[in-house]
A = this chain, B = another copy of it.
Amino acid sequence: VDTQMEEKARKHVDQLTKPTGALGDLEELVVRLAGITGQVFSDISKKGVAIFCADHGVTVEGVSAYPAEVTGLMIGNFSRGKAAVNVLAQRFQSEVAVVDVGSRLPKPPEGVLERKVRSGTANMAQGPAMTRQEAEEALQAGADLASSWKGAGLQLTAVGEMGIGNTTSASAVAACLTGKPVRRLIGRGTGLDEEGVRRKGEVITRSLQVNRPDPRDPLDVLTKVGGLELAAMAGFMLEASHLRLPVVLDGLITTAAALAAVRMEPRVRSYLFASHQSAEPGHALLLEALDMRPLISAGMRLGEGSGAVLAFPLFDAAVATAREMATFAELGME
Within the complex, which residue of B83, B87, B302, B313 is in contact with A19, where a contact is CB–CB below 8 Å? B302
Helix, strand, loop or mixed for chain A's interface? loop
Stretch at the interface among A53-61, A98-106, A126-134, A290-298: A290-298
**Binary interface encoding of chain A residues 230-274 relative to chain B, with 1 for a CB under 8 A from any of its CBs, else 0:** 000000000000000000000000000000000000000000000
Within the complex, which residue of B17, B295, B298 is in contact with A298, where a contact is CB–CB below 8 Å? B295
Q: Are A19 and B65 in contact (CB-based, < 8 A)? A: yes
- Nearest chain B CB to A270 CB, angstrom units: 20
- Nearest chain B CB to A78 CB, angstrom units: 10
A25 proximity list for chain B (CB < 8 A): 298-300
Q: Are B325 and A83 in contact (CB-based, < 8 A)? A: yes
- A46 proximal to B (CB < 8 A): no
Q: Are B84 and A313 in contact (CB-based, < 8 A)? A: no
- Nearest chain B CB to A153 CB, angstrom units: 22
Q: When chains A and B are docked, how far (Å) is the Cα of A211 from the Cα of B311?
A: 45
**Binary interface encoding of chain A residues 68-100 relative to chain B, with 1 for a CB under 8 A from any of its CBs, else 0:** 001001101100101110011011100000000
Residue of B nearest to A310 (CB): B317
- A26 proximal to B (CB < 8 A): yes
Stretch at the interface among A137-145, A213-221, A326-334: A326-334
* Interface set, chain A 1-46, CB cutoff 8 A to B: 16-26
Q: Are A73 and B333 in contact (CB-based, < 8 A)? A: yes
Q: Are B92 and A313 in contact (CB-based, < 8 A)? A: yes
- A190 proximal to B (CB < 8 A): yes
Q: Are B320 and A19 in contact (CB-based, < 8 A)? A: no
Q: Are B22 and A321 in contact (CB-based, < 8 A)? A: no
Q: Could you list some 21 contacts between A and B, CB below 8 A?
A: A17-B83, A24-B299, A24-B300, A25-B298, A25-B299, A73-B332, A73-B333, A82-B324, A82-B330, A83-B325, A83-B326, A87-B317, A87-B320, A88-B317, A90-B320, A92-B313, A92-B317, A295-B296, A296-B314, A310-B317, A313-B313
A333 proximity list for chain B (CB < 8 A): 70, 73
Q: Are A76 and B317 in contact (CB-based, < 8 A)? A: no
Q: Are A302 and B18 in contact (CB-based, < 8 A)? A: yes
- Nearest chain B CB to A60 CB, angstrom units: 20
Residue of B nearest to A299 (CB): B24
- Nearest chain B CB to A318 CB, angstrom units: 9
Q: Are A82 and B277 in contact (CB-based, < 8 A)? A: no
A17 proximity list for chain B (CB < 8 A): 74, 77, 82-84
Q: Are B88 and A320 in contact (CB-based, < 8 A)? A: yes
A116 proximity list for chain B (CB < 8 A): none
Q: When chains A and B are docked, how far (Å) is the Cα of A317 from the Cα of B314?
A: 13
Q: Are A321 and B65 in contact (CB-based, < 8 A)? A: no
A298 proximity list for chain B (CB < 8 A): 23-26, 295, 314
- A182 proximal to B (CB < 8 A): no
Residue of B nearest to A333 (CB): B73
- A191 proximal to B (CB < 8 A): yes
- Nearest chain B CB to A68 CB, angstrom units: 13
Q: Are A91 and B299 in contact (CB-based, < 8 A)? A: no
- A279 proximal to B (CB < 8 A): yes
